Structure 1
Amino acid sequence: MKFCDECGSMMHTEDGVWVCRSCGHEEARDLEAEASMTTTQGQEKSEIIDVSDAEDRGLPTTTVVCPECGNDTAYWYMQQIRSADESETRFLVCTECEHKWREDDH
């Protein structure tokens, strides 16, 4: 996305140039600069965290009761799974049975 240097409106591409539909200002396209722009498609992917080797990766532990086996220790990590203005979600993995669950802010 590019914004017009003259009026600040969003520009559109037409025949290899950027064109402002508000004021008519035109600029040549810089394909190299456009290739480095961040797209929303690249932001949609969420990282999957493999916790099978949690102890080897140095994940922190906390005292919490596992709902499956009753063990009182779990590894934890935080991950942003909702929009950026929402708080992160804490994921927990039992150190005994490796049951996974999450803790949301309410």
Structure 2
Amino acid sequence: MMKADDGTWECGSCGFTKPTGDAAQYTVTEDQEVGEIIESSEETALPETDAICPECNHDRAYWYMQQIRSADESETRFFICSECEHKWREDDN
């Protein structure tokens, strides 16, 4: 996994480094650890689905999945409201 460090991407396994580029093209959500970054732009590439926002009750949200627990646990679904941009997550129970 590549982590951002002082304007450079660094691979935790092999030590490969690469400049990070323009920081304005990345979004870090509240639930991410420092160094976990999702690339974004004005026009999002994330898929959209029916989901009720807990903040504004809008019925559409962008979503993505991320492995945040051990490998034998299911992925966590993250949602971003397409209206107010509130972010929340949904774990499998």
TM-score (norm 1): 0.51
What displacement does 1:58 show? 1.4
Structure 2 unmatched runs, 5+: 1-12, 15-33
Q: Cα–Cα, structure 1 residues 78 and 46, in superposed 2: closer, same or farther, change >3 Å?
A: farther
- Secondary structure at 2:43's aligned position in 1? helix
Matched with 2:37 is 48
**Percent sequence identity over matched residues?**
66
2:57 aligned with 1:70, yes or no? yes
The amino acid that maps onto 1:75 is Y
The amino acid that maps onto 1:104 is D
Matched with 2:85 is 98
Higher Cα Rg, which structure = 1
Write the distance in 2 (CA, Å) between the matches of 1:93 and 1:76: 6
- Structure with bigger helix share is 1
Aligned residues: 62
What displacement does 1:81 show? 0.3
What displacement does 1:57 show? 3.4
- The equivalent position to 1:58 in structure 2, one of 45, 59, 62, is 45
Structure 1 unmatched runs, 5+: 1-37, 40-44
Q: Cα–Cα, structure 1 residues 46 and 87, in superposed 2: closer, same or farther, change >3 Å?
A: farther
TM-score (norm 2): 0.58
Write the distance in 1 (CA, Å) between the matches of 2:89 and 2:80: 9
Counterpart mapping for 1:26-41 below 5 A: 38=13
Write the distance in 2 (CA, Å) between the matches of 1:92 and 1:60: 10
List, as ranges, runs of 4+ consecutive aligned residues in structure 1 with deviation greater than 3 Å: none
Write the distance in 2 (CA, Å) between the matches of 1:46 and 1:100: 18
